[in-house]
Chains A and B, each alone.
Chain A
Amino acid sequence: MGEVNVKTLEQRERTFLEQSYIPEIVKGLGVTVKHFFKNISPFEDERMTVTYNYPEEPTEYSDRYRGQHRLMVREDGQVRCVACMCCSTLCPADCIHIEAAEHDDPSIEKYPEVFVIDQLRCIDCGLCVEACPCDAIRMDSGEHVEAFGDRGKAFFDRDKLMELGGQSLAEQGGDHIPEHPS
């Protein structure tokens, strides 16, 4: 039997005044009254109100905000994705549907003929971005997924995802290590 380490905590007895609640109620009242009068002050900067008037004052998103997906493009405007299936395999919501096709250019091999993200199932976890070996899918557009009234409109296809796309700094293909600007 090992020794049990018991830590005794000192329990402070309540004093009579504390037990009677009256000074404590007055203290509490002091706090609320202070907040009340500060917050109705005619001067904005004295108020402690933290509410955002959301639709009227848009909030600023952080740089890491995961917005709508976008598919990056190559220099010649073709889709950068090589249909490796990493993202659709990893996607926990199983919402990326890719149909690969052979590319005419032998140095590219494959490209996604169909690339659909079901936005109704996507949980915006960002794992697809982490999984992509060639920086072809990103969620850094900083935009909301638009609202849709029709379920069919929730399937965002390749061309729609490419509309937001830009060029990546990373070089694609080959075996040389890309020189990163940073």
Chain B
Amino acid sequence: MRIPNWLALTLIIGAIFLGAVGAMWGAIEAVALAATLLPAPPEPFATIGVIVAKIGLIVFGFVMGLASLMTLFGDRKQSARIQNRLGPNQAQFFGQSLIGLPHFIADGIKMVLKEDVVPDDANKLLHTAAPALMLIPALVGWAAVPFMDYYCHAPSDPEAARMAIQASYPFEVCKTQTSNYFQIMHVNSGLLFAFAIVSIEVYGNAIAGWASNNKYSLLGGIRAAAQMISYEVSLGLSLAGILMIYGTLDFREMVVHQAELAWGWLPLWGVVVQPLAFFLFFLAGMAETKRAPFDLPEGESELVAGFFTEYSTMKFGVIQVADYAATVFLGGLTAVIFFGGWHVPFLYADGFYFGGLAGEPTLSLPYHLVVATRLVAMCFKIVVLVWLQFMLRWTLPRFRYDQVMMLGWKVLLPAALANLLITALIVSIF
């Protein structure tokens, strides 16, 4: 008997999801247990330790891991599947091609071992610093992105925990002590912070183009600067409507607001409240990451490779990873602002409520399992959004440069303004 395709896919995805939830639950329980058994370290070390652990897990574990894996799975394997090819499968461990994973390691080794070429008369300092200037902003922005709500130090007894967290649905309030474990730092103007960091990235590109002492690079750098600055306008304006509705710049509060359900079943995520804004934000964000169909700064056909024409070895690798990290960051922002962040519909701190919030949960879950599920949901949303960007990248042919500018200034900007105006009217009337 043959298992139907949809069933097999569902089983595989379900197995991955359950495995991840289980692993995270186990980790959270283990940490909680260790906290009760071991003596707490003295104060400055405890805080520093938590921050270092958060940075390590979120930025280097999740973001860099996903971004560098995307160099293989996103651009080479996924594109191959779309185009009915197999993609790289010749690098092997013990005769196993492991869906191309060894290629990823082989590429890294190759990049590190290659000769580092700096062109004559290039500004050595800036030429070397530019890749870092590109990668760092793509990573720093994660400081403000919350992966989960504050962790509530509830008593382990389920009934008491329920009393401690349930307070007033749908906005969960923790009556005991809370810790900010899943966001690197709490910025109450997180959105402004993220935007400030994103717009710094353009310096890296412009400097890379300028410092290479190459006309192609210079043109690429100028294009990158022009394109990123143009699209930043619509990127910001498309979110103004969201700001009016949520009335906050704090990512955490934005996500908390998205827990509400309309008519008891429709989660009021940003994408439901502001569909046009989502579309504009995603489009402008894709242009901001400078990947196809907006990869004009690279422009293979006319500019060789644009601003990174003169880069080799791991410098080139870092520029590539910076691009992918920006893609992941856009995925993260979109997940937080438009897709309800860590929220899973109907899931509250003590389980699933399918039939309204009154009474007992339909499916009771321990708090740690809920936290694990929410973390996995957040990561899952980011992965799906990154996947969608790659899908679009392999679907659309690239724009001509004047079309990119036309789209930015003549289509996205007026649309964002119109969206803002209509939202303002609706918000002020109701």
Contact = CB atoms under 8 A, between A and B. Distances in A.
B279 to A, nearest CB: 8
A66 B8 CA distance: 45
Interface string B1-23: 01001001100100000000000
B396 A25 contact: yes
Contact of B85 (A22, A43, A46, A49): A49
A32 B84 contact: no
A173 to B, nearest CB: 54
Interface stretch (A8-16, A34-42, A83-91): A34-42
B106 interface: no
B417 interface: no
Contacts of A51: 84-86
B80 to A, nearest CB: 8
A114 B86 CA distance: 49
Interface string A9-32: 000000000000010010011011
Contact of A36 (B12, B81, B392): B81
A87 B53 CA distance: 78
A40 B89 CA distance: 14
Contacts of A28: 395-396
B391 interface: yes
Given A43-B8, A49-B86, A53-B86, A35 B2 contact: no
Contacts of A1: none
Contact of B82 (A25, A36, A53): A36
Nearest to A50: B84
A33 interface: yes
A30 B12 CA distance: 22
A49 B81 CA distance: 8
Given A37-B9, A41-B5, A43-B8, A29 B391 contact: yes
A41 B85 contact: no
Nearest to B407: A21
Contacts of A40: 81
A48 interface: yes
A43 B8 CA distance: 9
Contacts of B8: 41-43
Contacts of B396: 25, 28
Contacts of A22: 279
A29 B395 CA distance: 6
A49 to B, nearest CB: 5
Query: Of A22, A28, A32, A43, which is in contact with the most chain B CB atoms at under 10 Å from its CB?
Result: A32
Interface string B74-88: 000010011111100
A10 B394 CA distance: 32
Interface residues of A, number: 21
A22 B395 CA distance: 13
Q: Is the interface of B mostly helix, strand, loop or mixed?
A: helix
Contact of B395 (A25, A43, A53): A25
Interface in B383-407: 391-392, 394-396
Query: Of B82, B85, B392, which is in contact with the most chain A CB atoms at under 10 Å from its CB?
Result: B82
Nearest to B86: A51
A44 B2 CA distance: 12
Given A25-B396, A41-B9, A43-B2, A36 B391 contact: yes
A28 B392 CA distance: 9
A39 B396 CA distance: 19
A49 B9 contact: no
B416 to A, nearest CB: 15
Contact of A32 (B82, B85, B89, B279): B82
Given A28-B396, A36-B78, A43-B5, A48 B391 contact: no
A128 B89 CA distance: 41
A41 B84 CA distance: 12
A33 B390 CA distance: 11
Contacts of A37: 9
A115 B85 CA distance: 45
Contacts of B78: 36
A46 B4 CA distance: 11
Contacts of A29: 391-392, 395
A33 B396 CA distance: 13
B245 to A, nearest CB: 23
A35 B86 contact: no
A39 B81 contact: yes
Contacts of B391: 29, 32-33, 36
Contacts of B86: 49, 51, 53
A35 to B, nearest CB: 5
B395 A32 contact: yes
A39 B84 contact: yes
A22 B275 CA distance: 13
A42 B5 CA distance: 7
8 contacts: A22-B279, A29-B391, A35-B81, A36-B391, A42-B5, A43-B2, A49-B85, A51-B85
Given A29-B395, A49-B85, 13 more contacts: A22-B279, A25-B392, A28-B395, A28-B396, A29-B392, A35-B81, A35-B83, A36-B391, A39-B81, A40-B81, A43-B5, A49-B86, A50-B84
7 nearest A-B residue pairs (beta carbon): A39-B81, A51-B86, A32-B395, A28-B395, A32-B82, A48-B84, A42-B8
Interface of A: 22, 25, 28-29, 31-33, 35-37, 39-43, 46, 48-51, 53
